[in-house]
Amino acid sequence: MCGIAAYYGGKNGVPIVVEGLKRLEYRGYDSAGLAFLKENNIEVVKTKGKVNELKVLAEGKFSNVVIAHTRWATHGEPSHVNSHPHKSMNGKIVIVHNGIIENHSKLRKELEEKYNYEFKSQTDSEVVAQLIQYFYQGDFEEAFRKMLTKIDGAFGIVALHEDHDQMICARKGSPLVLGIGENEYFVASDPTPFLDHTKNVVYLDEKQMAILSKDNYVVKDFKGFNLNVEIETVPFGIEAIQKQGYEHFMLKEIFEQCDTIKDCFRGKIRNIDGISVSKEDVKRIIFVACGTSFYSALVAKYIIERKTHIPVVVEQASEFRYRQPMLYSTDLVIAISQSGETADTLEAIRLSKKVGTKVAGIVNVTGSSIAKECGQGMYLHAGPEIGVASTKAFSSQIVSFILLNLFFNQSPYYRSEIIDDLKKLPDVVKGFLDRNYVDKVAEKYKDAKFFLFMGRDINFPVAMEGALKLKEISYIPAEGYPAGEMKHGPIALIDENVPSIFIVRKDEVFPKVISNMEEVKSRKGKIICVCDDVNEDIERLADDIILVPKVRWEFSPIVNVIPLQLLAYHIANLNGREIDQPRNLAKSVTVE
């Protein structure tokens, strides 16, 4: 959710971390700040506002040791005083923190009542700086470690002390990555802030800390024992996090799907090396996910159950954790997450492992917590997804489910047939994107106050995903339903001012969908039809038609979701919305 960027080296780190924060804006934030060491003093600059405002305030500042932060409010409203970094009461220690300190109220009360500590902010984070001061007796690292023993919850922390040439950081439940450069080091929530300086990284694991100094870095566990860590290489370059001529990252990522689909199945068609479970030992598959990943998992249920006859359950990770699920040794629990850091999904996997259930992950970000926790699964290889509203990850997830389906389906004929069609899919998607006219449809409906999205069978989850995309970035209320449920409530909302978007495919439920469209039309509702074929009924009933390519049943969610992504994008753009950073949303939800 929040973002951390820090620098320790021989250059002026202030402009480096400010640019780093710019690259973390996609994570969502409401305020920004930085702190730096200068002549054994700590100076803090922060603002309730955008990183560009911080850049102006920090102009002319110089330091070789800098920590910076973008805040997404969880405790205390967005304000200057609640913005990070936070200082200790004596002003000698400064910290930035991502996550939630669950026992902060108890710790704060104890420090205030027993030891007369004074707090300036309403945040949970300030208690971290105060605890380090409380434990400090000349050894910064020891005080930091003692602080870690007192706090509960999820955190990524970076701290400085004005009397020490050290930067100390630690993670538990919130990602931190070290960048290893030439006589310089970086710390960030992900590698994007320092990609133009180094691609060599160390991903801190759970309950690991790092101490950075002028000459080296050391990674330790929370007890202080040194650890051997692997330096990895980031698999993408700086160009992957640039707009490359597109007005918004979201639009760029929509148009990248013809490439990301191919990247997802490249090298996996013959064998999915990342999954090591025995097919015979899996009697049920349980997907756990949140948001867009949850809707993609619903698509997986349709594909896998129909083609493999393995029962599939799809669970919202936030509910799965707390309802005492019935899990068995013959289950395979699969976590779906673009970031690989979604807090509820990560905890769902940990819960499953505790009872001895097999787990796997399907994630986009290499080295992420879910990938490490699962130890097996698939990477999407979709590249960085900067837009908060997920697009290319959804289509890549569908491809990964098709591959998973092949893993469990032993029919040589089916396998050969679907592989041939899968290889053609990127060009099919490119053809639609190159010739689409969704912007014209968006112009017509940009002032609508509410939308209904409806589909049946495998495209019912696509209707829900389309509704989610629209409300995420345009702030227009929208709901997705199975078309067959229309008479059980949604039909009450239909009038001449409510557009209904139907996803229509020429299959066994086609006549049923036409009947649903008739019911909308008889109530003067407007109909936008996303379909792969046009007949007399569709021409008669639809006010607008978006024609998509004809593809096999398993691929239809991919070609049908793309026009819905474009529709949401263009409506939001026509209404002047902050498309890449919609209000109140964060790209990676790393706290509950």
Q: What tokens were used for 69?
A: 């932060």
CA distances from 347 to 79, 344, 374 (A): 31, 5, 11
Q: How far apart are CA 517 and CA 289, in angstroms?
A: 31
Q: What tokens were used for 443?
A: 């112009």
Contact between 31 and 47 under an 8 Å Cβ cutoff? The reply is: yes
Residues 6+ apart with CB under 8 A from 553: 458, 505, 507
Cα maximum dimension of the chain: 82
Contact between 335 and 397 under an 8 Å Cβ cutoff? The reply is: no
| Residue 100 CB-half CA count within 13 A | 14
Catalytically annotated residues: 2, 587
Q: What tokens were used for 125?
A: 């984070």
Q: How far apart are CA 291 and CA 400, in angstroms?
A: 17
Q: Which of 234, 255, 235, 232 is nearest to 243 (CA)?
A: 255
First to last CA, the chain: 11
Tokens 């001061």 belong to residue? 133
> How long a stretch of residues is the chain?
592
Helix (H, G, I), strand (E, B) or coil at 448: coil
**Facing residues of 386 across strands?**
none
Q: How far apart are CA 202 and CA 183, in angstroms?
A: 15
Phi, psi dihedral angles at 64 (to 5 degrees): -90, -10
Q: How far apart are CA 117 and CA 427, in angstroms?
A: 64
**Facing residues of 217 across strands?**
212
